[in-house]
Structure 1
Amino acid sequence: MIRKLFFSFVGIVSFVSTSNAQFEICNTSETIPELKLSLCSVVKTPLFHEPGKEETIDLFIRKFPAKEKREGSIWLIAGGPGESGASFYPLITKFKEIFPHLDIIVPDHRGTGASSKICPEQESLESANGIALANDEWGPCFGQMFGNIPYTQAFSITNAAKDLGVLINNLSGEGKRYIYGVSYGTQLVLRLMQQNMVKVDGVLLDSLVPLQDDGDFDLSKRSQVTDKVGRMVLQNFDTTNPKGVNLASRLEKLIERSQSDKKFAEQIPGQNLSSILGMMLDIPDARNKLPSIIEGLEKNDFKVLNDVVQDIINFYKDYGSKYDTSPSSIPLVQIITASENNLRPGMKKVDVVEEAKGLLFTSPLPNLIAENTMPTYQRDQYFTIIPQKMPPTLIFQGTLDPKTDYDGAVRHVKKLSKVGEVTLVSVTDAPHFVALFAQNSFAKIAAEFIEGKSITQTIVNDEYVALKK
C-alpha cells in the first residue's frame, strides 16, 4: 500500500536540503484511516556530513498536522535501529489525542522505510520482497556493502543524529519543539543532544537504552537480561498463587527435557523453548499465560503454547501489515550493533551457547550478533559519553522490560540527571515500549509534561500491563 502511495507522491514533492523544505499532500486517494490528511516530504541530506563531500541521501518524513490550534511540533523517533517511522502509525490516533496542539512529525531515519538504504536495490520498496530482504537478495546486498564500504559506514548513529538535526531545524515550523524516542530511538535522540544542533523545549524517552559502556546490559548480554525479567515474572506468579514447587524449578526441568527428548522438542515451535518463552515477555497477554504453558507442557499438552505463539504472530502481523515500510532493515541493525552496541565483538557463537546454559528465557539477539562479518565503522568522540546539557526530560521505563533493562535505565538516568532536569516514571510490570502497552498512563503523564506541569506520580500502576494475579 505505502509503496504505491510513496511513488505517486514522489512526483509532486520538493527535494530540498535547506529551510525552504515543504510538506505536500502524500496522495489524495490514500485509504489507510490513520494516514489520511497526513503530509509528506523527502529531503536530501549529506551522506557523510563532512566538509568537501557532496554525496547526498534521501530522507522520508510524514507529518500529521495538529488537531487543534497549533502550538508547535513533536518528532517521533523510532527504535530498532532498523525500524522506520511506520512503527508509530498504528498509534497515531492516540498520539493526536495526547498532543492535540502539536504537529506530529515522523521521519524514516537513514537506512529505514522510504529513506535511502544500505542496499538500495535489494531493500527497495519495488524489490521482490519489498524493503525486507528475500533469501536470494542477501548475496547481492553483501556485495553492495563490501563493494562500497565508505557508503555502508556512513549509516552510523552520529550521521543519523545529524540528519535529525537538519530535519528538526528545517521542518519543525514555529512554536515549541519536542522529541519522543523509543528504545534505540532514545540513543539516537541522546546522540542528537550531544551535538548541540537543535534547541528543543522537552524530550520524552521511552524504554531507555543502557549507557554504552555498561557491560552488564549491552546487547551481547540480552539473554541474561531476558532471563532476569522472566524469572521475576515467574516469581510474581509463585507469590500470588503458590502451588507447591516454584515455577522456575518446574520450567528448568521442561527445558532440560526439550534438550534431551527429541520427540518432545519436535513439538515446540522452533525447537527452542527458552527462546520462545523469552519472546512472550514482550506482550502482557502472552506473558500472563506462562503458568498455563508450564502446566500444559508437564502433561505433554502443547495447545496453550502453540495458541500463544500464534497470538504473538497475529499481534505483530496486525500491528504493521498495512504498511509496506514496516519491515526492519537487518543490514542497518547489524552495522550499528557491531560498530557501537556490542561490547564483546570477539564473542563466538559457541560462547553464546555456553552462556545460555541454565537460562530459562533467552533472546536470539546474542547469536545473531556473534561473529560479525559486516563492515563496521569507527566509534567516534560521542561513543559512551552523555550530553553536556539536557532540556527538560521525561523518561518512561517498564519495571519488567526484557530488552532495555530497568536497572540499566536507572543507571543511565542518574548520569543524565547531572546535566539537566530529568524525571523517571517507573511503570510497574510494563514491558518494552510503554506508549504501546500502557497507553493510558503514558497519555496522562506525557500530556502533563507537555503542558509544563510538575510530574508528581513517578511510580505508576497500569491495569493493562499488570501481571495477572
Structure 2
Amino acid sequence: MTKVHWSIFALLLFLSGLAACGANDDDDPGSGPGQAQDDDDDDSTADDAGDDDDDVTPPAIDWGSCPDYIQLDATMDAECATARLPLDYEKKNSKTIPVFLYRVSGSAATKRGQVWFLQGGPGGSGADFAQLFQVYAAVYPDLDFYSLDHRGVGNSARLTCPQEEVEPFDYQGCAASLRDQWGDDLMAFSTTNAAYDVSVLIEAVRESGVPVYVYGGSYGTYWLQRLLQLSPQRIDGAILDSICSPGFTKLDEYDPHFNEIGHQIMDTCATDATCAEKLGTIDADPWTALGKVYEKIDAGDLCLALGDVDRTLLREGLGLLETDYFLRVVIPSVIYRLNRCAPKDVLALNNLLTILEGKKKIITDPDKLASDYTLGTSIILAELYGDTTYAEALNFVNQAYFSVDAGLLIGEIFDWGQWPIYPDDGYMNRWADTDVPLLMLNGDFDPQTTLSMATPAGEHFTGSAQTFVTVPYSPHGVITGSPTPTAIAAYFENDLETFLTSTCGAQMIFDFLADPTGPVDTECLAAIPPLEFSGDSLVNQYMSLALYGTTDMWEGIPAGKRTAVPHFLPNPFAPRRWR
C-alpha cells in the first residue's frame, strides 16, 4: 500500500484553486465587452478545424529526470521533458516556446493505453497530478499516465510579472509588463493553441496500437473539448470531470454558485434530525438561521470573544468548507457555535481558524512553479466571462451567505477594460461534434461547476458511447470527491492507494478505460454516503476532531488550543499556490 501524509486542506479552488467556471445562459461566442483585444488578420475560424497542426512535425521527446515535486520518491518511474512547440499554430514558421510534459509509466511490458490528464484553472499545473499518477501506475501497470503544463503555466513559457507576487495585485502594472515581455505574441496564449499543444504531443509519444485517452478536470474539460473540436481523430476516449460546458461557463457566476450550493447544504440540514434540532434554536429554517447570524455580525454583537469575525471572513470560510466532501460536514456546527459563543465554542472556532490559515500557508509555496494567475486572467476574460461589473459583483458578495469572492478582482480588471486578451478564434463557446467515446461526470453538490452548467454537455453529446453521470453528494472533482465506504475507511488509515482507487469516480473512470464503448458500471453511486450532520457518524467525529479538537462537533469541549495543522490524505487536485 502507498501511504503518505499530506494535508486534506490543500484544496483545489479554481482561480484560487479548483475551477474558474460559472454558468451563464448567454451562449454568445464572443468575448466580454470592454477588453483590450488585439485583432490579427490571420485569425482562424471553426471552418479550419483540425488543420493548424497538420504541418507540424511532432518533436522527438528527450525524456529525463524530474524535479522533486513530480519525482515524489525513488520508486516512482517518472520522466520529464520539454518540447519546443509553435507559439502560434496559425502562422507558418512560427517561433517556438517550451512546453513541459511528464509521464509516469506502468511496469507492464505490454500497454493497453496512454492516459493524458489536463488540469483546470485556467492556470493550474499538470504537476498536481503526480501523486495520482504514482498510485495509478502502480495499480494499473498496463497504463502510462501523462500530463503537461498548459502554455503560460509553470515550466511552459510561464506568463509572469513582478506585480503578481504583491498584494494587492497591481493588474495594470502586470498588463504593461506582459506587453513589454511578449508584445503581440501574448495573443498566442489561448485555449486553442494549448489544445494544439496536446494534439502534437499525443502524436509525439504515441505507441503503435496503443489507445490514447484524455481526462480533463474543470477548466481541463473546456480545454479537452477544444481538443475534440480540433483533433478528435487522435483520441480513443475522453473523460470530462466537473464540466465547463461551452457557452454555459462564465466566471461571473462563480460566487453565486457557491451561495446556491451553500443553500442546498442548509436545505439538507433541514432534513437532518440533529442539524434541524441544533439550528432550530436559532430559527426553524436553517437558511434563515444563518441569516440571523449574519444580522448579528452586522449589528456588531456576534461572538465578540472570537475577535474580528465579519461577513467576509464567515462567507469565505463557509465557501471554502463547502468545496470538500469531508470538510463541509462542519458547516452547520460552525453557525451553531458562532451563535452560542460559549467558551468551548470560542476555543473550537479558533482551532478551525488556525486550520484554515494553515491551509493557505501549505499551498502558498513560491519555490514551486504552479498555478498562474496571469494566464488564467487572460483566458477568463477572453472566453469565460459575461458582463458583470465590479460593483455588481461586490453587491452580490456583500449579501451572500457563502462565497469565495473570486469575482471581485476579476470584475475590477474587467471594468478597467485594458487587460490584453486574444480575440474570438472561431472555437470559443462552440461545441465539438464528435462520436469519440465520452464519460461525463458531475457532482450535484459542486459549487464550481454546477449541474446547470454541466448538463448541457450531456444534452449535446448523446452518441452511443457517450455517457453523462450525475454523482450524488459529490462536490468538485468527482475522481476524488465521491468516496465509497471502502475509500472512507482508507482515508482514516492514510491508505492513499486504496482511497484513490476506490472512490466511485475512480471506479467509473477505470471501468471506462477498460472498455470505452461499453456500458459504464454506475453501481457504486448507491454506495456514496449521503451528506448528514449527526454527532455519532465516524466521518463527522473524525472531521470534528481534526478541525475543532473534539469529536463532538456540536457540543464537545476541545482538548486544547490548536497550534498546527493536522495532516491527512490530500485532495490530489491541490495547487501549489493560492491567491
- Which TM class, normalised by the smaller chain length? 0.7 to 0.9
Superposition map of 1:271-290 within 5 A: 271-290=312-331
Note closer, same or farther for the CA distance 1:382–1:394 as it changes in structure 2 (3 Å cut).
same
Determine the structure 1 residue equivalent to 2:560: none
CA distance in 1, matches of 2:479, 2:358: 20
Give per-residue Cα distances to partners, 1:129-171, cap 9 Å, x unaligned.
xxx7345995764332233442222111111111111111112
Higher relative contact order (CA 8 A, sep 6+): 2
What is the Cα deviation at residue 112 of structure 1? 1.1
1:34–1:93 CA contact under 8 A, matched in 2? no
Aligned AA (1:154)? A
Determine the structure 2 residue equivalent to 1:24: 64
CA distance in 2, matches of 1:261, 1:348: 29
Pick which of 203-212 and 357-366 moved more.
357-366
CA distance in 2, matches of 1:338, 1:266: 38
Aligned AA (1:259)? D
Determine the structure 1 residue equivalent to 2:100: 60
Superposition map of 1:366-445 within 5 A: 366-372=407-413, 373=416, 374-417=419-462, 421-438=465-482, 439=500, 440-445=503-508
- Number of aligned residues: 438
Note closer, same or farther for the CA distance 1:30–1:448 as it changes in structure 2 (3 Å cut).
closer
SS at match of 2:480: helix
Note closer, same or farther for the CA distance 1:53–1:269 as it changes in structure 2 (3 Å cut).
farther
SS at match of 1:436: coil
CA distance in 1, matches of 2:402, 2:118: 29
State the percentage of identical aligned residues. 23
Note closer, same or farther for the CA distance 1:415–1:395 as it changes in structure 2 (3 Å cut).
same
Of 489, 501, 511, the match for 1:448? 511
1:112 aligns with 2:146: no
Determine the structure 2 residue equivalent to 1:202: 237
SS at match of 2:199: helix
Superposition map of 1:147-158 within 5 A: 147=180, 148-158=182-192
Give per-residue Cα distances to partners, 1:27-68, cap 9 Å, x unaligned.
799962288321111001111112235221101111101233
2:297–2:310 CA contact under 8 A, matched in 1? no
Give per-residue Cα distances to partners, 1:409-456, cap 9 Å, x unaligned.
112211122x56321222211110111233421222112111114214
2:511–2:521 CA contact under 8 A, matched in 1? no
CA distance in 1, matches of 2:394, 2:67: 50
What is the Cα deviation at residue 257 of structure 1? 2.5
Give per-residue Cα distances to partners, 1:363-410, cap 9 Å, x unaligned.
311112113242111122111211111411111211100100012211
Aligned AA (1:143)? A
2:104–2:145 CA contact under 8 A, matched in 1? yes
CA distance in 1, matches of 2:84, 2:177: 21
CA distance in 1, matches of 2:421, 2:360: 30
SS at match of 2:412: coil
Determine the structure 1 residue equivalent to 2:250: 218
Determine the structure 2 residue equivalent to 1:259: 298
Determine the structure 2 residue equivalent to 1:325: 369
What is the Cα deviation at residue 270 of structure 1? 8.2
Give per-residue Cα distances to partners, 1:336-377, cap 9 Å, x unaligned.
111110011xx3222112233542212311112113242111
Note closer, same or farther for the CA distance 1:428–1:320 as it changes in structure 2 (3 Å cut).
farther
CA distance in 2, matches of 1:458, 1:116: 43
1:342 aligns with 2:381: no
TM-score normalised over the length of structure 2: 0.69
CA distance in 1, matches of 2:468, 2:514: 17
What is the Cα deviation at residue 105 of structure 1? 0.6
1:25–1:37 CA contact under 8 A, matched in 2? no
CA distance in 2, matches of 1:113, 1:209: 23
SS at match of 1:435: coil
Give per-residue Cα distances to partners, 1:300-319, cap 9 Å, x unaligned.
34444443344345556657
TM-score normalised over the length of structure 1: 0.84
CA distance in 1, matches of 2:226, 2:206: 19
Determine the structure 1 residue equivalent to 2:335: 294
Aligned AA (2:287)? A
Aligned AA (1:332)? L
Note closer, same or farther for the CA distance 1:236–1:98 as it changes in structure 2 (3 Å cut).
farther
Aligned AA (1:252)? G
Note closer, same or farther for the CA distance 1:310–1:35 as it changes in structure 2 (3 Å cut).
farther
In structure 2, stretches of 5+ residues that fail to align are 1-55, 483-499, 535-579
Aligned AA (1:457)? T
1:45 aligns with 2:79: no
CA distance in 2, matches of 1:336, 1:183: 14
CA distance in 1, matches of 2:406, 2:69: 40
1:23–1:40 CA contact under 8 A, matched in 2? yes
Note closer, same or farther for the CA distance 1:303–1:249 as it changes in structure 2 (3 Å cut).
farther
Aligned AA (1:219)? L
SS at match of 1:460: helix
Of 206, 231, 234, the match for 1:172? 206
Task: Give the CA RMSD over aligned residues.
Answer: 3.0
Give per-residue Cα distances to partners, 1:174-227, cap 9 Å, x unaligned.
311000010000000000100126421110111111332x3xx62111122111
Determine the structure 1 residue equivalent to 2:42: none
